[in-house]
Structure 1
């Protein structure tokens, strides 16, 4: 495995952006440490190009005939190493140096085998999967969990398409489609698609949260649907008003405060599995990956309840929280450090040590880093606008990982494990064999 060629560009005309991307890719494919003829491409476009998705895929496919499989989606922004393109016409492409027997592109016309841990008809076993999905898909959470069950590890990473125009996904598989769907174009609307990876594809993935608890965690003791009625036996609305120091007698003040307040949910099975960790992190003002952040969507003064954008069971732990740029920066730095530490060998040779110690401006994608490429899916509510400066979020990633190939997009919801997150970032790196 060699480094994954990647490229990115912005231009009002998609053909010009595509030409810039193709020039970058061809230049990298000529380098000795980069892959020369990768078969799998990841393609992310901003919603400025959404109406031209089919033309973009056809053009890039024609210009890169060695690439036989395509996957990707649209976002309100796209990203690459050290840069974000928010609310402007842009695209990013990464060519993955993986053998065709190590992955499968899937979609509604080329679904994953339902056998889970057992090989499919072609002998392929899905171990993990990159998933792109449409937020308007009915029973989306259940579908995500079903895809996770079709992988041996149960681990997914990815996100929901984010678009103010058409919500599109790219999924073109050289392995073929279901009978009767042979003419599928590779551009889809609705449902789920992505790439499943076999057990020999090395991946390291982490979830970073962007919210910070503002009060202690409490247990949900009564709930009807999405209306939380009591927390630790006390009316939920009373807890909310007291914790935020607001009153319904001053409605505008209360509304302004509630607009910035979210809830962090820890389901009972996750709280039991990691009983000490979550409390430790919350004491430091952090959430761990077991916490799902959701909106408060209404209040019920008559029943003294608060409505949230989820339907958790009784016993779920709930903490009021708010988005916090400083906490988001600290947590992103933490997960990047965890990935880097996991990949660095215990004993370093002189060349390896020099590569890992290089200044960020000189940090080359040295093989010692063992990162062939990376995918970063972040919430559309994060990025430079949340971190305080253009491209600030991706600059944090680069400072931690070095100048590695990376593409991604800003999503309407993030997927990790078998769950759907919000206000998070999901960073996944493809590792080279030791």
Structure 2
């Protein structure tokens, strides 16, 4: 598998930005190390272009007729290799060359058919979702159950002018679209991949615990009542070193605090520095002094584990570097030729993409609360990815929630790479 062509640009006029992106894509497709016959396009636009979404999709489809399938969505920001575009008109595109029998595009208009009906077995899936969809967490879990691995990756649209998604299938892969032009809102859409498409994916957290990990021993819906047998509100105030006798100080501390949840049965580890990838971060939405409870933005059950946490740029930076290093370690062969070793160990900040890194392309979905503003400088988050993972083709967006495995996350980044084989 050769590297996937990718391009990105910003311009007040979408046609100018599209022209710049097309020039980048065509230049790469002429190079021997890049795919020359891609059929699947991943398209992400910022919400500045939302009103022109259908025209953008039609234009790219007409200019790239060999690309028969498209998937993507809109966000308050989009990302590319070493660059992120926040609150400005921009688009980011990657063209994937995959066997036609190893992927399918799906949407609410043309949902994924069962294996018995289609003969296609879904192994993993890239999923885009409308955050306003009812029972979204259940739909994500159900979608995961329809794959062999149970692993999804993706995120929720974050457009301020509406949550749009792109889903177009060609060559008969996605019957049912009818007169629809490929731009949708509501529900789920994306691409399912067969077992022949090799992926490596990791979740990176953006928060750091400020308390030890505890077991939820009593709960009522979204209300934490007891933690390790003690009233939840008392535990919270104790951990934050505040009192309700000083309400302003207590409210300020609670507003800056989040809750990290892990499923019941997860190995209990008293973490004081890091959150595991199985932890989902949720907001505290209220306090119940009468029942001594803490309300959070998720339904909880006794037996689940939790810890209080806060956003932390330094911890987020270190964890992002860790997951990139894990991916590189998994992909790089144990035995390398001298030329390969030099290519892999070269200066990433100045090196061009190289097939020795065995990454055909990458998709990075990050929380809209992260990015440069959280990491301290424009493009800082994507610069960390490039420095740690290497100069590889990358596309993505900043989401209203991140999808990994069968869960919906917050304040995280989900980095997934298509491996280029040996």
Task: Normalising by structure 2, report the TM-score.
Answer: 0.98
Match of 2:123 among 119, 124, 127: 127
Deviates more, 1:251-260 or 1:237-246: 251-260
Pairing 1:297-336 to 2, within 5 Å after superposition:
297-336=285-324
Counterpart mapping for 1:352-363 below 5 A: 352-363=340-351
Cα distance, 1:99 vs structure 2: 1.7
- 1:108-134 per-residue CA deviation (whole Å, 9 max, x = no partner) reads 1221133xxxx3434221100000000
Give matches, 1:34-433, under 5 Å.
34-114=34-114, 119-174=115-170, 175-179=172-176, 181-269=177-265, 271=266, 274-275=267-268, 278-279=269-270, 282-283=271-272, 285-433=273-421
Deviation at 1:52, TM superposition (A): 1.2
Q: Deviation at 1:367?
A: 1.2
Tell me, which stretches of 5 or more residues in structure 2 are unaligned? none
Q: 1:63 to 1:120 in 2, by over 3 A?
A: farther
Note the C-alpha offset of 1:80.
0.3
8 Å CA contact retained: 2:164, 2:184: yes
CA RMSD of aligned residues (A): 1.2
Unaligned runs of 5+ in 1: none
- Give the paired residue count: 421
- Per the alignment, residue 14 of structure 1 pairs with 14
Contact 1:210/1:324 (8 A) holds in 2? yes
Give 1:3's aligned residue.
3
The one-character-per-residue Cα deviations of 1:213-265 (angstroms, maximum 9, x if unpaired) are 00111111111111111111111111111111112222222221112100011
Partners of 1:361 and 1:220 in 2: CA distance: 45
Deviation of residue 178 (structure 1)? 5.0
In structure 2, the CA distance between the partners of 1:178 and 1:28, relative to structure 1 (3 Å rule), is closer
Q: Do 2:157 and 2:164's aligned partners in 1 also have CA atoms closer than 8 Å?
A: yes
Q: Check conservation: 2:349, 2:386, Cα contact below 8 A.
A: no
Is residue 44–residue 93 contact of structure 2 (8 Å, CA) maintained in 1? yes
4+ aligned runs moved over 4 Å, structure 1? 176-179
Conserved? CA contact 1:215–1:319, under 8 Å: yes
Looking at structure 2, the residues matched to 7 and 248 of structure 1 have their Cα atoms a distance apart, in angstroms, of 53
CA contact (8 A) 1:93 1:407 kept: yes
SS of the residue corresponding to residue 362 of structure 2 reads: strand
What's the TM-score, normalizing by structure 1? 0.95
Q: 1:80 and 1:120, CA in 2 relative to 1: closer, same or farther beyond 3 A?
A: farther
- Which one is further off, 73-82 or 248-257? 248-257
